[in-house]
Structures are given as C-alpha cells and as structure tokens.
Amino acid sequence: MKIIMLGAPGAGKGTQAKMIADKYSIPHISTGDIFRANIKNGTELGMEAKKYMDQGQLVPDELTVRILLDRVAKDDCKNGYVLDGFPRTIPQAEVLDSELTKLGDKIDFAINVDVPDENIVNRMSGRRACVTCGATYHIVHIPPKNAGVCDKCGSELILRDDDKPETVLKRLSVYHEQTQPLIEFYDKKGVLKNVDGTVDSAEVFDQITGILG
C-alpha cells in the first residue's frame, strides 16, 4: 500500500501519516524529518536545505528526489510506505510516477487533509519546540506542564522561525502556487481521497481508515 499525504503545511498530515504507518506496519517517510536530521548533524545537505526552510521556501527538487528514491528502494518499503512532504510539485510527482512505473509500481492512494488557511496559521503559531531534545508542544492543544519549559529535559521552548505567522503565510502562498495542483494531478489518476482536517485528529484518522480499509 503506497500512500501519499497531501495538504497544506500545518494541516496535520504528518500526524496522520505516523498513525497510518503504525496501524498498517509500513514506514512513515517524511522528507522534513530527513532534512531536520541533516540540519541537526550539520551535514552539507542539511545546511543547504536549511537556507530554504528558514525562508519558508521549498527545498529544491534535486535535493529532495535524491533522498526519497534511495529511501523507498530499501527493504522495509516492500509492503508499502506513507510519503509525507513529497511530492510537493507537479515535476516531483511526475518523476516519482515515472520511477515507480519503471519498477512496475504505482501510488495507491493520495490522501488530501483539507484545512482552511486561517486554521493553519492559528495552529502553527501556537507550536513550541525544545531547543535541546526537539520535543514539540502546542500552547493550547499539547501544553507543557510549565510554560516555556520542556517536560522531557527541562530546556527552553521556542517558537521556531518556520512556525511564525509571517513565515506560515509565506509557506501557504508557496503551497497554493506549487503544491495544491497535485490535488488535481492525483484526482485525474483516480487515487485522490479528500478528508476533513478541521475535526479532531482521531476523527480524521477514522475517515482515513474508512478509505484504506
């Protein structure tokens, strides 16, 4: 079962991807996680990706494609996977489609988690991240026990640059221009499924499992 998660940044598709991966015992592949790991480790790829991410821009195709195709070729992906954060553009989707076709494979479901922009800005500006261990919180939905302090390691919690309202709005603008066309792309292929992302995450997951079976 090969699944692509679609939706604007902050729509909650990453949370749903992890839940899908757990339920169906397939890898959750997030390009964002791979980029963050590279940034944390100070690799050349990470530093290059960070320049774009800090400005709320998308990481260029060549960086992303190189990582992803290598990842899905690994043994743990033989029964399927959930792609989270890729493809982001029509050219990426076409490359992925072409490479999978060469392998006699294809994407089975493209699940679009639909959330209005206003909801996303409110969600993301409430996020807080630990400067030391990377744990994440939300001042409304998942608050730390003590404001501004990580429950796990006691370090300071910050509002990351890519969660600030001005950056979120910029990312949403890029999303609507470059990534939203994927909805039509996968709809034409007959694999698109839309779910309402404004409800509780458990309800969103119920919608998804109803689709996947």
Catalytic residue among 2, 13, 123, 128: 13
Tokens read off for 147:
């404001």
Is 171 annotated in the active site?
A: yes
Is 13 annotated in the active site?
A: yes
Catalytic residue among 2, 123, 128, 171: 171
Is 71 annotated in the active site?
A: no
Is 127 annotated in the active site?
A: yes
Instruction: Work out whether the CA dihedral 50, 51, 53, 55 comes out positive or negative.
Output: positive
Catalytic residue among 36, 50, 71, 160: 160
Residues 6+ apart with CB under 8 A from 73: none
Label residue 134 exposed, middle or buried (CB < 10 Å: 0-12, 13-18, 19+).
middle
Nearest to 58 by CA among 212, 141, 206, 162: 162
**Which residues participate in catalysis according to the annotation?**
13, 88, 127, 160, 171
